[in-house]
Amino acid sequence: MRISVRNILIAGTAIACAAIPAYAVLADPTPHVAVIAAAENGVAGQYIVTMKHPSRVSRAIAFPTVHRFTDGFAARLTSAQLKKVQSDPDVASIEQDKIMKISASRTLAAGTTQASPTWGLDRIDEGPLPLSHTYSYTHTGSDVDAYVIDTGIETTLTQFGGRADTVYGGEDCNGHGTHVAGIIGSKSYGVAKSVRLHAVQVLDCDGEGTTSDVIAGIDWVRENHAAKSVANLSLGGSKSTALNDAVTALSKSGVFVAVAAGNDNGDSCKDSPASAASVEAVAASSSNDTRASFSNYGKCVDIYAPGVNIKSTYQGSTAYLSGTSMASPFVAGVAALYKSTYGQATFGTIQTWLTAHANNNRIKSNKASTHNRLLYKSTL
């Protein structure tokens, strides 16, 4: 399960009409910044504008915005307004906003060792198969904050033990974000069982939102995150420079970022944020160490993690879901354990550790262009 971008705001949320101060533009400006058109699922008349200097964002223009970011804004623009923005020498890029939506299948239903864990937890603390039917851990991530950029979290579930809250947007009315959060840090199904979970709701009850909705949530985390933090984005769509730049900036701000590789059985380098620099793009594997048939692949994939029939928290109960959406939070959870064990570290340091400790050459039906690495938490 993974989420892609679509032309709809978070449920019940009106477009923000914050104005950006007025441009001094020629009466008949000549455009010089080309618009990057959406390869698919484009939102007609809506654009993501990135400025060369963040300080320029606060200059006003005579139209309302959908979102304001640290480095730019998103707005619905007429042809005339678009030409004015294109002619502004302070504009770095203009990208058509695009659509994302959920793609998933589901079946409802420290010396510490957890008996009878989910197969995914069991797999990430094993070397070669078979599974041991236990999950052993030294740390629980109690001093780490995990930001779930998704559909929200049902924070009142007992599995979260009062450790989950909503910091951006509203409660989860879809279930996807709650499932992802459970893999990162729920009591029974989570990798880091005491991590603090923060919901950043960028997608609505249908699991849908625009690229600019997602960037706005990323931008909030970038500006407000705690010292030792990880973030998970189990979502994606066609390649977006603006989205890639946003997650790269988040990573460089000190937050470890794990993202879903995608569920199209195609090249992850064609998707965002999987194609971004300084993020850990995660493909999905099954319980017998086979690449999931739906999982994306390619040189942009950094690691595999369990992603087929994964049990976790879901809308008042539990559910079994499949997708790279489920694989990515296993990596986010291990990154939380790393920070809890060794302290704050750069993305590069943690990625190097994940690569060095991975189970190599375990994945069957792997594509030749894809790193054959399976997540292993070692002694964390």
Tokens 């994940």 label which residue?
A: 354
d(CA 222, CA 219): 5
d(CA 130, CA 229): 33
Alpha carbon of residue 274 to chain centroid = 9
Which residues on adjacent β-strands are paired with residue 137? 112
**Which residues have C-beta within 8 Å of that of residue 342, sequence separation ≥ 6?**
none
- DSSP assigned state of 287: T
Q: Does residue 88 carry a catalytic annotation?
A: no
- Nearest residue to 365 via CA among 303, 307, 292, 311: 292
Q: Rounded distance, CA 207 to CA 189, Å?
A: 22
Q: Is 176 a catalytic residue?
A: yes
3-state secondary structure string, 291-348? ECCCCCECCCCCEEEECCCEEEEECCEEEEEECHHHHHHHHHHHHHHHHHHHCCCCHH
Task: Count the alpha carbons within 13 Å of 179 in the hemisphere toward its beta carbon.
Answer: 32
Cα–Cα distance for residue pair 154/181, rounded to 1 Å: 9
Burial of 94 (C-beta count, 10 Å sphere; 0-12/13-18/19+): buried
Residue 151's contacts (CB-CB under 8 Å, 6 or more residues apart) are 3, 172, 173, 174, 175, 176, 177, 178, 201, 203, 204, 205, 207
Tell me the C-alpha distance between 148 and 143, whole Å.
16
* Set 312, 325, 328, 340: catalytic member: 325
CA dihedral 309, 312, 314, 316 (to 10 degrees): 130
Give dist(CA 322, CA 120) in Å, integer: 11
Of the residues 67, 139, 176, 198, which is catalytic? 176
For the annotated catalytic residues, the residue numbers are 150, 176, 325
